[in-house]
Amino acid sequence: MSIVSVTSLQKCYQESVVLRDISFSVEEGEVFGIVGHSGAGKSTLLRCLNGLEGYDSGSVHVMGREVGDLDPAGIRLLRRDMGMIFQTFNLLSSLSVLENVLLPLRLWHVPAAEREARAGELLRLVGLYERRFERVSALSGGQKQRVGIARALALSPKVLLCDEATSALDPGTTISILDLLLDIRTSLGLTIVFVTHQMEAVKRACDRIMLLDGGQIQGTGPTDRFFLAPSEDLRRLVQDEYAQFPGGTNIRLWFPREIARDAVITSMARALDVDFAIVGGKLERYADDVRGFLVINVPDPDRERVLAYLEAKKLYWEVLGNE
Amino acid sequence: MSNLVSALLSFPAGVVDSLMRNQDALFPAFGETLYMVGASTVLSFALGFFLAVVMILSGPKGLNPAPRLYSVLDIVVDLGRSLPFIILIIAIMPFTRLVMGTAIGTTATILPLTVAAAPFAARLIEANFLEVDRGVIEAARSFGATNAQIVFRVLVPEALPAIALNVSVLGIALVGYSAMAGTVGGGGLGDLAYRLGYVGYETDVTLWCVILLVALVTVIQKAGNLIYSRLRPDA
Ligand SMILES: Nc1ncnc2c1ncn2[C@@H]1O[C@H](COP(=O)(O)OP(=O)(O)OP(=O)(O)O)[C@@H](O)[C@H]1O
Ligand SMILES: [Mg+2]
């Protein structure tokens, strides 16, 4: 039984359809990415999951409850079980770090001793216990998001909704926040729905992703499969930094875990007797292990032979657009 | 005029002398002004705060939109704000008499002052609530806050510095209103300046009234600024 399952969801604002025939499910304990361009409907979809947004037809089933059928009290109970973090953190500037984390506990009338203990524990988890009495305005973006995470976890939710949670942060801070999320996913058994347009965040954190464009699903599947054989849509999302080499054909070779990089390159060079240049490459971390790719530049006369070789060897590859 | 000029010419002895001569009239009048302004600030703030909460709940982007209720309040508040105070005080005299037993005097004046300032207060506080970041409200909803909790645990604390500043704006407006009320039967410095200063040609009384009013306004403004800067988290 999936912890979240959405079926044929449809949502309109006035006459414009923002979400069309959306169906997917999220399994307990996974990090599920919702990826797409600005305006694709990611935030709207995420907000349908905890009832911040209504929907016109279809079904949103979360933790055994049909969100559209809940009364206001039922919605609040659902939200108690679902934390949410935001791109702009959305902390109360009038409160200290500690008071921000205490707020949900106060609103749910958690006894004082218990709530102090819980807030302290969470602030230790996110590494801000020492700064608990400071104003949130004194914190950096990454630290604010850590407070946001602690606050979102205060009521011990089962699901954490993240709306562009790392999009306002620099790359280094993004990584540390993602690692924190992955840690708590494991230690707390959390399910995370992660909305983003950052490819780095997707690769690092998500087990599975769903591509959304114009309010419609373009594809759903395990993250590594998306990146090993990227679709047209995904490619449009990933800014391709290796597309600009003069002359010849740039080919990107993907290396899944089981293939040794060096062996492929050297054996191809030997077998075909072609000269090619390695013009780029990257080791990347997908969810839990390291994979990589190389971009090689092949002279045009050899292009067809190289492609035939790659095809025959059943490698993952793609020709990068030249210019 | 001659009194004023001679008072100024014989400064400072003349000033002290003038103050001594008029203190029996000035200080009770100042006390009355403080009483009127203080009471009506508290009451109009309370009423305005209540109206602002209802408006922020029922407003078009509110927590619990109720378009009809909001448009009624919207009109009432604008009407109350656009009515000149001197007209309002006369218009509601029968009502004042009904509620306070009399329409004349310092205490009776508190009612029209409150009625006049409450819509003003409501608008100021509503604007302060509207300035609170939507994202913060959304965050509160995301962990299951009720509308009442959002108002009192999120909007009020977040808007508090700005509201404190607006209380001083409200108080200062009421200093002006109270002086006007003095001329139609209220007490206070406005009444004194009118009776002794204008009708009775005692120009230095008028001058003293002005000085005391300016001092009062300054103190209220400074107090508001001080509270604001104390409450502002990032100031
Ligand atoms: N309150 C609203 N009223 C009308 N249209 C809206 C409203 N909120 C969102 N939309 C529209 O719905 C579409 C999807 O918006 P949404 O915020 O879900 O996109 P998004 O994928 O989260 O984009 P971004 O990456 O910029 O956050 C957009 O075209 C937007 O203009
Ligand atoms: Mg969005």
CB atoms within 10 A of CB B134: 11
Chain A closest-CA separation from residue B106 CA (Å): 39
* Among candidates A80, A148, A151 on the partner chain, residue whose Cβ is nearest the Cβ of B144: A80
DSSP-assigned letters across all residues of B175-232:
HHHHHHHHTTT--HHHHHIIIIIIIS--HHHHHHHHHHHHHHHHHHHHHHHHHHHHH-
- Shortest-distance Cα residue to atom 9 of ligand 1: A44
Q: Is the ipTM reported for this complex over the cut 0.90?
A: no
What is the pLDDT, as a whole number, of residue B3? 67
Supply the pLDDT for residue A242: 45
pLDDT tens, chain B, 235 aa long: 566 676 566 666 777 777 777 788 888 889 999 999 999 999 999 999 999 999 999 998 888 899 999 999 999 999 988 888 888 888 888 998 998 888 888 888 999 999 999 999 999 999 999 999 999 999 999 999 999 999 999 999 999 999 999 999 999 999 999 888 877 777 888 888 877 777 777 788 888 888 999 999 999 999 999 999 988 866 5
Distance from CA of A91 to the nearest CA of B (A): 6
CA–CA distances in Å: residue B160 to residues B141, B217, B218, B235: 20, 21, 21, 14
pTM of the predicted model as reported, rounded to 2 decimal places: 0.80
Of A84, A90, A154, the CB nearest to B136: A90
Residues of A in Cβ contact (< 8 Å) with B129: none
Q: Is A135 close to B233, i.e. CB distance below 8 A?
A: yes
CA distance A48 to B100: 54
Report which protein residue has its CA nearest ligand 1's atom 2. Answer: A13
- Name the residue of A14, A43, A84, A193 to mutate for ligand 1: max ligand atoms within 8 A of Cβ: A43
In the predicted model, residues of chain A with pLDDT beneath 50 are: 239-244, 322-323
The predicted structure's pLDDT at residue A241: 43
Round to whole Å and give the CA distance between A85 and A34. Answer: 15
Q: Is there a contact between A84 and B143 if contact means CB atoms under 8 Å apart?
A: yes
Q: What is the pLDDT of residue B45?
A: 97
Distance from B10 to chain A by nearest Cα, in Å? Answer: 54
The DSSP output letter for B194 is: I
Pocket of ligand 1 (CB under 6 A): A 13, 18, 36, 38-44, 197
Q: B162 to chain A: which residues are within 8 Å by CB?
A: none
- Nearest residue (by CA) to ligand 1, atom 5, is A13
Contact B142, A50 (CB under 8 A): yes
Orientation angle between helical segments B106-130 and B13-58, nearest 10 degrees: 50
pLDDT digits (tens, 9 = 90+) for A63-84: 999 999 999 999 999 999 999 9
Tokens 């500043």 -> residue: B165
Partners of residue A155 in chain B, C-beta under 8 Å: 143-144
B128 in Cβ contact with B51 (< 8 Å): no
- In the chain, the amino acid numbered A26 is V
Q: What is the pLDDT of residue A55?
A: 94
Contacts A–B by Cβ distance under 8 A: 77
Pocket test for ligand 1, best of A14, A44, A199 (most atoms within 8 A of CB): A44
Distance A127 CA to ligand 2 centre (A): 28
